[in-house]
Amino acid sequence: MASSLRLALLSLFILFFSFHSVSGLLTLPHPLDPLSKEEITLVQTLVLKKYPNSTHTLSFHYVGLDDPDKATVLKWESTKPHTVNISRRAFVIALVDTAIHELSIDLKLHSILSDNVHTGNGFPTLTIDEQTDAIELPLKYSPFIESVQKRGLNISNVVCSAFTIGWYGQEKSKRGLRVECFMKEESVNIYVRPINGILILVDLDQMKIVFYRDVSKEPVPSEDNIEYRASHMEPPFGPKQYSYGTFQPEGPGFKLDGHSISWANWKFHIGYDERAGVTISLASIYDLDMHKSRKVLYRGYISELFVPYQDPTEEWYYKTFFDAGEFGFGQSMVSLEPLRDCPPNAQFFDAYYAGRDGTPQYLANAFCVFEQYGNIMWRHTESGIPNEEIREVRTEVSLIVRSVVTVGNYDNIIDWEFKPSGSIKLGIALSGMLEIKAVEYEHKDEIKEDQHGTLVSANSIGVYHDHYYIYHLDLDIDGEENSFVKTDMKTVKVTDGSSKRKSYWTIDSNTVKTESDARIRLGTSPSELVVVNPNKKTNAGNDVGYRLIPSPAAHPLLVEDDYPQVRGAFTNYNVWVTPYNRTEKWAGGLYVDQSRGEDTLAVWTKKNRDIVNKDLVLWYVVGIHHVPCQEDFPVMPLLSIGLELRPTNFFERNPVLRTLSPKHVKWPTTCSSKQN
Amino acid sequence: MASSLRLALLSLFILFFSFHSVSGLLTLPHPLDPLSKEEITLVQTLVLKKYPNSTHTLSFHYVGLDDPDKATVLKWESTKPHTVNISRRAFVIALVDTAIHELSIDLKLHSILSDNVHTGNGFPTLTIDEQTDAIELPLKYSPFIESVQKRGLNISNVVCSAFTIGWYGQEKSKRGLRVECFMKEESVNIYVRPINGILILVDLDQMKIVFYRDVSKEPVPSEDNIEYRASHMEPPFGPKQYSYGTFQPEGPGFKLDGHSISWANWKFHIGYDERAGVTISLASIYDLDMHKSRKVLYRGYISELFVPYQDPTEEWYYKTFFDAGEFGFGQSMVSLEPLRDCPPNAQFFDAYYAGRDGTPQYLANAFCVFEQYGNIMWRHTESGIPNEEIREVRTEVSLIVRSVVTVGNYDNIIDWEFKPSGSIKLGIALSGMLEIKAVEYEHKDEIKEDQHGTLVSANSIGVYHDHYYIYHLDLDIDGEENSFVKTDMKTVKVTDGSSKRKSYWTIDSNTVKTESDARIRLGTSPSELVVVNPNKKTNAGNDVGYRLIPSPAAHPLLVEDDYPQVRGAFTNYNVWVTPYNRTEKWAGGLYVDQSRGEDTLAVWTKKNRDIVNKDLVLWYVVGIHHVPCQEDFPVMPLLSIGLELRPTNFFERNPVLRTLSPKHVKWPTTCSSKQN
């Protein structure tokens, strides 16, 4: 009786909610729109209905859009008004008791379409809540309290943090986290004040400490000069930066329609996913000569971020983080600060992701969009024509989509910059804190053995590590069927006396046939990497294409069969090309926590599929080997790196030849100042 | 009698001028200030006095500051007020009849200190005037007029341009230029409308055509869609860029004292040289912790720019230009357009160089200085401390010194960006026009043989080429005595079971002992390149240093003994380090026109000098292999590349930890709008 009453109430609730939700859906979301607050609540309701809390332990590890088939989205997009009926589904990874469930949920029909249990290796992305629970455990764990007391520290000043543990060849894995603790006294800069020498392993299913060892007792680094909050510093401040004002008298140059944006000659959709962060979809550019919009990028996002530290000792060896798969790159996005993270003319966008219990979590100012002024777009001064003075300069306005992902200590600033010339610049910048290992040394001369890092301050080693970001770039260059052309530059020796030169270079362009041939380690030989549409030619007969202008390349330094490298095998090459496959989203695999490298880009490409005239995905690895230096301490000035996707025979000619510079408006006379 | 009268008048003039000049010198120029208008005139007067026009043909090919010995400058700088008496000299290269004279002139004593004749290979930088004379010759040369008529073209629409001829192994060289001609009808975009197939060689000493051949008759490419002047285009224009306003209510953050600038924590001197263009000298940064200014860069500039084209045929093989040594990088600087080349808050600086006859040539708006707003300087969001929300973001203002060097078709935008964090970013961007070779083909399919370029439009081949810029960076990291440390990252395999990892990487830092070991081809193995002061340590014992964060590296593709490559041998490596030597300024040699590679960086370093704890110069080659594409036509959207000099254990910690963001000022209510 009680149970059937509950069921009746629940049905009533769902009915009510459905109405609300349906009316929400009447606003016709874009098929790639992130799940709304209401949709996340609907997912929560439906899954809770199937696995009620009364009988199950349920936690949501991923709730996101189960994006429709690409063909369906493209059909929807090409039909205007958008009357194509399109299903709207959520993909959910939930732990039900200790089983990993993958659910597909129809958000229109309010029904669970499928519910499969993952039985392979690897675990889902951690929830923020379980990390919060785990880091509380030591504070009530008497051996830890003893260790803290033994060091003369005050337990009330201890803050802990959770770290994924990787996989090192063991046969059986359980969901777990390492916990490390830090001193938080006057300064909030916890990462530079580790209480080293204590090993804590938490079993996440039992949510308890299952391994504890106090192995050594390095001093906690001092808190002198580590504070970064201006409000907690005494003057003097400096150097002074002078004030400024900016204004867009006509307003911004972009128009928004939900998550879709049109700006200058570009149109695209900005999505959000709790794992990927910001996603850019359906980017197309208007061709003034052809009088039509032409496709460039179906979808782009950072698929994974691999950060292996390089200290093999018991306290550090496991630190080989996968920030997207383990911690959720979108879930780790932080609220942006107006006027600081983004300039005054920025517009901000909010986002929702699902908490552990499925409740929508609000993230204000999740990303921003703004126009950037002041670069030169193109110019020429012509001094070679008698009696004519010619100078033409065009100033550029570009559009930037910015988000910041802070996974613990590091802040990743992720920019997508669109230029009217057709270029897309992908910018990554690092700030935040180093992970510090406490040591007894105060001076480099005392160090006799490799400490696996730089002594960045007394008792503080900034441990060597890498940052590898891999972009998933589903390019659709003027249509879906594309090929990947590698244009090598090669020296030709002149030996027949036909030229006064002994040599020159020319190009050797080849369409890359298969995935294995498309794996490229950059830096060994000069080449241009171009994704072309072999079915479209310019009037002069060139394949229309976009080329990749890479950042300086970094190659992995771990041996290929080392466990972290097997898991992060997508870093073995800088460039990969695959045929589009809806399931191949995450370069490190769907289940990255304690993964074994069975579901990575490196494995998928072993099929060595044909990539000629297919729907292609370009994968690009941006890598930084990070040898810390003292300037990175106690907070790191931005280190920026970037790449460019640049039209290459995509247009018949410079597409901004007819673009005028933006007008500059003079600062008005203020009313307080004397008129005339 | 007549002659003695002339002499008397000249003496009178010099007397008058000296007075004027001395009063000019009373303003105490900085020892590295470029020659003033008055000083150039003085040089002209003194040389003309020695080699009067009545008996000599005299032309000035270089007139610049003969910069004082570095030790003297440093002594001058460290003594405040600057009472150290310092000589002020000009260095002059002049052709007297056909002999190349090198003169050293004392500008205070008004005397020629030395006058030597260069008898080796190579010729001085061309004057603009002799190029102007040379390109007029074909227009009055009947075989050329016939060739033009034969092609059905109108000679009154022909404009010619001068090209240096290189050196291809011949024993004897004479000063000469190739001249090529273009059609200038409605459009001023001459470079894309070549009249190909005509070979013209001008003897510069005789100033006449000494070789003429009409070898083929490719059609002149059409002038459709090549115009780049908005004033000569019909609407529609697009895409629209929206207007904006900017304001610095407190004024700019920099202070000028002649050519010296102080801004934020930086001080430096901006010089100008008709060969080098903008030079940055005596850059030092104020250290807030040490309460003192610390040296970083004694002098930096682009020493040479090598642009070899890759077409070996008779018409093109010789095109292997050295833009600094042959054409004068400073002499080729162009006037910047306010609001366009530099943003509204820029300040502009003028410059003077000597014309062929020695007369000062005025260059308005030769370079600009402005502050750039809007990047993030550093940030962190801390979510890991229970019940505390922490977000600190600092916005950055950086200072940019910009100049544009247009050598014929290409515009080089040269930026020096100073950051309060201590970084110096060196930016190079390319715009302007491709050099086009006319061909009969209108479609790629018609092409059966290598045309050495891309068919960028009908009848128009954009020929393959490289751009190699070499920076001369005389770093003085916290003092003059520096060493060059190469820190290699190397894989360590774990084979003894001491770690669960199979591998990790660590660093192997070595002070590079000699010049030959300091020659580095980037991209082959990961390393950090740091110039350190081995005599200064941080408190933690690290060598204070600055590291080079390179651009993607380009390596030469010509064979090493090919003539152009011998002349441009400084491109054989990306990085070179030499001990400071006052005479080693020009990586391609002092006399680059038709040089034979006897006076290049590659030759100097064969001495294999000791570079440990010496005054060092770092040379860095920024290279681009340019495969033209249709978007580069008819004018090229900016292609940007850059590198960074970044403090690395130079400071005890992040030097901008105590820097506050600039205030943002709101747009005032205008008086025309309603108050309240």
The count of residues in chain B is: 676
Mean pLDDT of B130-136: 97
The answer to which of A237-246, A614-623, B513-522, B662-671 has the lowest mean pLDDT is B662-671
Local confidence band at B13 (pLDDT 50, 70, 90 cut-offs): very low
The Cα A491–Cα B560 span in angstroms is: 11
pLDDT value of position A666? 86
Which residues on chain B are in Cβ contact (under 8 Å) with A539?
443, 458
Mean pLDDT on A509-530: 96
- Average pLDDT over chain A, rounded to an integer: 94
pLDDT for residue B459: 97
**Of B586, B44, B98, residue with least CA distance to B328:** B586
Higher pLDDT, B114 or B16: B114
- Fold match, B2-118 / B128-232: yes
Q: In degrees rounded to 5, what are phi and psi of residue A188? A: -90, 5
Mean per-residue pLDDT, B78-104: 93
Give me the residue from B378, B563, B661 closest to A635, CB to CB: B378
What is the band of B5 on the pLDDT scale with cuts at 50, 70, 90? Answer: very low
Instruction: Give the residues across from B668 on adjacent strands.
Output: none
Per the CB < 8 Å rule, is B244 touching A244? no
| B128-232: CATH, from 3.40.640.10, 3.90.1150.10, 3.40.50.10800, 3.10.450.40 | 3.10.450.40
Residue B522's identity, in one-letter code, is L
Pairwise CB contact (< 8 Å): A654 & B632: yes
The answer to whether A316 faces chain B, any CB pair under 8 Å, is no
CATH assignment of A254-648, among 1.10.287.1400, 2.70.98.20, 3.30.1600.10, 3.40.50.10790: 2.70.98.20
User: Which of A375, A382, A665 has its CB closest to that of B243?
Assistant: A665
What DSSP line would sit under A27-58, residue for residue?
T---TTPPPPHHHHHHHHHHHHHHS-TTT--E
Touching check for A413 and chain B: CB below 8 Å?
yes
- Mean pLDDT throughout B193-222? 95
Averaged over A569-594, what is the pLDDT?
A: 98
Q: Which CATH architecture has domain A2-118?
A: Roll (3.10)
pLDDT at B667 over 80: no
Rounded mean pLDDT of B197-218? 95
Question: pLDDT at residue B113 above 70?
Answer: yes
In this prediction, residues A489-518 reach a mean pLDDT of 97
pLDDT(B12) > 90: no
Q: Which residue out of A311, A323, A415, A543 is catalytically annotated?
A: A323
Residues 142-201 of B with CB under 8 A from A: 159, 161, 168-169, 184, 188, 190
Q: What is the pLDDT of residue B254?
A: 98
Q: Work out the minimum CA distance from A604 to partner chain B, whole angstroms.
A: 24
- B6 three-state secondary structure: helix
Interface with chain B: mutation pick from A265, A318, A373, A504, highest number of B CBs within 10 Å: A504
Answer yes or no: is pLDDT of B669 > 90: no
Give the integer Cα–Cα distance in Å for A597 and A595.
Answer: 6
For residues B462 and B456, is the Cβ–Cβ distance under 8 A?
yes
Does residue A26 carry a pLDDT above 70?
A: no
Q: Which helix (H) or strand (E) holds A295?
A: strand A292-308
Q: What per-residue confidence (pLDDT) applies to A72?
A: 95
Asked whether the beta carbons of residue A540 and residue B457 sit closer than 8 angstroms, the reply is: yes
CATH code for residues B256-648: 2.70.98.20
**CA atoms within 13 Å, Cβ hemisphere of A563:** 23
Residues of A in contact with B656 (CB under 8 A): 239, 637
pLDDT of residue A670: 57
Residue A27 pLDDT > 70, yes or no? no
Q: Searching chain B, which residue's CA lies closest to the CA of residue A497?
A: B312
Sequence ranges of the domains in chain A: 2-118, 254-648
* B373 close to B248: Cβ distance less than 8 angstroms: no
Element (H, E) at B19: helix B2-25
| A615-625 residue pLDDT tens | 999 999 999 99
- Give the pLDDT of residue B27: 53
CA distance from start to end of chain B:
84
Q: What is the ipTM of this complex?
A: 0.94
- The DSSP secondary-structure symbol of A171 reads S
For chain B, positions 561-590, list CB contacts with chain A under 8 A: 561-565
Per-residue pLDDT tens for A73-101? Answer: 999 999 888 877 899 999 999 999 999 99
Among candidate residues A179, A267, A529, the one with its CA nearest the CA of residue B625 = A529
| Residue B96 burial class via C-beta count within 10 angstroms: exposed 0-12, middle 13-18, buried 19 and up | middle
Alpha helices in A240-292 (DSSP H): none
pLDDT at B81: 85
pLDDT for A12? 41
Res A647 pLDDT > 60: yes
Q: 3-class DSSP state for residue B633?
A: coil
- Rounded Cα gap, residues B67 and A117, in angstroms: 77
Least confident residue range of A504-508, B25-29, B87-91, B537-541 = B25-29
What average pLDDT does this structure show over B374-383? 96
Residue numbers in A near B631 (CB within 8 A): 421-422, 646-651, 653-655
Mean pLDDT within A202-220:
95
pLDDT digits (tens, 9 = 90+) for A436-481: 999 999 999 999 999 999 999 999 999 999 999 999 999 999 999 9
Convert the pLDDT of each residue in B247-263 to its tens digit.
Answer: 999 999 999 999 999 99
pLDDT, position A2 = 44
Of the candidates A51, A191, A309, A410, the residue annotated as catalytic is A410
pLDDT band at A669 (very low <50, low <70, confident <90, very high): low
Q: Given this model, what pLDDT does residue B17 score?
A: 38
Q: How far apart, in Å, are the Cα atoms of A135 and each of A179, A216, A256, A673, B385?
A: 6, 21, 41, 58, 10
Within 493-532 of B, beta carbons closer than 8 Å to A belong to 493-494, 498-507, 522-524, 526, 528
Cβ of A659 within 8 Å of Cβ of B237? The answer is yes
State the Cα angle at B356 between B351 and B360, rounded to 5°.
30
Asked if the Cβ–Cβ distance from B394 to A159 is below 8 Å, we say no
Phi/psi of residue A257, nearest 5 degrees: -135, 90
> Can you give the pLDDT at residue B182?
98
Mean pLDDT is lowest, of A24-33, A394-403, A504-513, B469-478, for A24-33
**Which tens digits make up the pLDDT trace of A520-542?**
999 888 999 999 999 999 999 99
Model pLDDT, residue A35: 97
Q: What is the pLDDT of residue B673?
A: 37
Average pLDDT over residues B378-392: 95
Give tens-digit pLDDT for B561-617: 999 999 999 999 999 999 999 999 999 999 999 999 999 999 999 999 999 999 999
Instruction: Give the residue-averaged pLDDT of A258-283.
Output: 98
Across the interface, of B334, B372, B664, the residue whose CB is closest to A339 is B664
Mutation for testing the B interface, residue in A140, A381, A524, A659 having most B CBs under 10 Å: A381
> pLDDT per residue over B295-304, tens digit each?
999 999 999 9
Q: How many CB pairs under 8 A join A and B?
A: 577
Residues 6+ apart with CB under 8 A from B77: B282
Q: What is the reported pLDDT for A107?
A: 97
Q: Model confidence over A344-388: pLDDT tens digits?
A: 999 999 999 999 999 999 999 999 999 999 899 999 999 999 889
C-alpha–C-alpha distance, residues A425 and A427, integer Å:
6
Query: Quick check: B524 and A528 CB within 8 A?
Result: no
| Percent with pLDDT over 70 in chain A | 95
pLDDT score of B8: 44
